[in-house]
Amino acid sequence: MSGAGEAKPMTARRSGPLRGAATIPGDKSVSHRALILGALSVGETRIEGLLEGGDVLDTAAAMRAFGAEVERVGPGAWRVHGVGVGGFAEPDDVIDCGNSGTGVRLIMGAMATTPIAATFTGDASLRLRPMGRVTRPLSLFGAAAHGRSDGRLPLTVIGAADPAPIEYRSPVASAQVKSAVLLAGLNAPGITTLIESEPTRDHTERMLRGFGAEVETEVTAAGRYIRLVGQPELRPASLTVPRDPSSAAFPVAAALIVEGSDVLVPGIGLNPTRAGLYATLREMGADLTFENERAEGGEPVADLRARFSPDLKGVETPPARAASMIDEFPILSVVAAFADGRTVMRGVKELRVKESDRIDAMARGLEAMGVRVEETEDSLTVHGLGAGGVPGGGVAAARLDHRIAMAFLCLGLGARDGASVDDASPIDTSFPGFGALMAGLGARFDAATAAA
């Protein structure tokens, strides 16, 4: 959905203290999965707190195209009448997943073991992203993918008529690849096994169990073996989507770098496979507390409180932590600019194939804001300038990437001369209401005079 309209330049100005409570929208990863598993179960699934951002709305539209009834019954409240495992109908038009790698890759998995064809496309960002990492394992089930020679979208997947279960070791640490394989395994008889070397977000495994599938995870020295028993009858579920820790990261980070701030973000999902940023911020000396730790909808949640932290120190993030904070490196790079000393992010080459090449996007944007950086294929180093030390005043290119746009707007709130982004419109893919939420805390955003 992003990238089709006009660019919306935006400027963030150095702001006074950010204060108050921020209600963060639902988790994007969990929202996609709730719609897809709802569509694959028989009967009515009820979802509360669904993220109503562009990416998830595209997945909702796709589930309708495959034959499920998907209905919005109130703000964040949705009902899905599923068609059952193997029950997807052949869509009569192209499936446009907009900006969403998660949407397209999970949906390809969900349809790949049903004998139907579907053609997938997306926006200019998604059409640059690699799809072979998903179509290769899907071909082992008996599916075929036809399209561009470089394996990118648009492409057509022909689902397997007689799918065979597979055992597959994922060559990349990717929850999208893992999830595509498990969703495809649902309609293959017997046991499908996905092996991952590094743990990645486990929302699919948790939610599959919630819908009645048999999934077990065995951790051995050779990796994490995730085994799914195929052809279950998925039972519809009632679920509440936790608030997105990857979205919460933006107001949290802004509070850490803007003098005098004290911000509470209630009810944030803190699944350990997603919480790497928060561990890193604490190592940097961030004044960050977790209150009211509890479980909601099968996921751990807590209220986060972040206060201005004038003595942040640079740190090194190890490759083993990368997967648990893979979407948070843009905002970590911003916090790092306000820390004393260097922050080195290692083992992050996957950032080069996100909504943009996030190493390059952050490096060029930070340079435009007066911050020194170094990059390799697999790392990013930010030379911090300390609290109040970031000049800012530049324009960062958002490159159709919501997290790049939000990261630089947060930087501008603490930088001497603010910061602009050339296009804030992609933010709606994951965090609708970001501007109003931040303004409610005291952020000075200005849409009119941006992008000098």
Interface positions with ligand S3P (CB under 6 A)? 29, 102, 174-176, 179, 201, 326-327, 350
Q: Is 238 annotated as a binding residue?
A: no
**Shortest reach from residue 327's CB to ligand S3P, in Å:** 5
**Shortest reach from residue 173's CB to ligand S3P, in Å:** 7
**Shortest reach from residue 326's CB to ligand S3P, in Å:** 5
Task: Say which of 327, 401, 423, 428 is annotated catalytic.
Answer: 327
Question: Nearer Cβ to ligand S3P, position 29 or 333?
Answer: 29
Q: Is 129 annotated as a binding residue?
A: yes
Question: Nearer Cβ to ligand S3P, position 226 or 415?
Answer: 226
Question: Nearer Cβ to ligand S3P, position 226 or 258?
Answer: 226
Q: Which residue is nearest to ligand S3P (CB)?
A: 29
Rounded to 5°, the CA angle 126-128-132 comes to 90
Q: Is 178 annotated as a binding residue?
A: no
**Shortest reach from residue 203's CB to ligand S3P, in Å:** 7
Question: Nearer Cβ to ligand S3P, position 72 or 352?
Answer: 352
**Shortest reach from residue 177's CB to ligand S3P, in Å:** 6
- Cα–Cα dist 265/180, whole Å: 32
Q: Is 321 annotated as a binding residue?
A: no
**Shortest reach from residue 304's CB to ligand S3P, in Å:** 20
Question: Nearer Cβ to ligand S3P, position 299 or 327?
Answer: 327
Q: Is 247 annotated as a binding residue?
A: no
The reply to whether 27 belongs to the active site is: no
Q: Is 417 annotated as a binding residue?
A: no
Q: Is 176 annotated as a binding residue?
A: yes
Question: Nearer Cβ to ligand S3P, position 350 or 360?
Answer: 350
Name the binding residues.
28-29, 33, 101, 129, 174, 176, 327, 354, 358, 403
User: What are the catalytic residues?
Assistant: 327
Binding-site sequence positions for 3-phosphoshikimate: 28-29, 33, 174, 176, 327, 354
Binding annotation for phosphoenolpyruvate: 28, 101, 129, 176, 358, 403
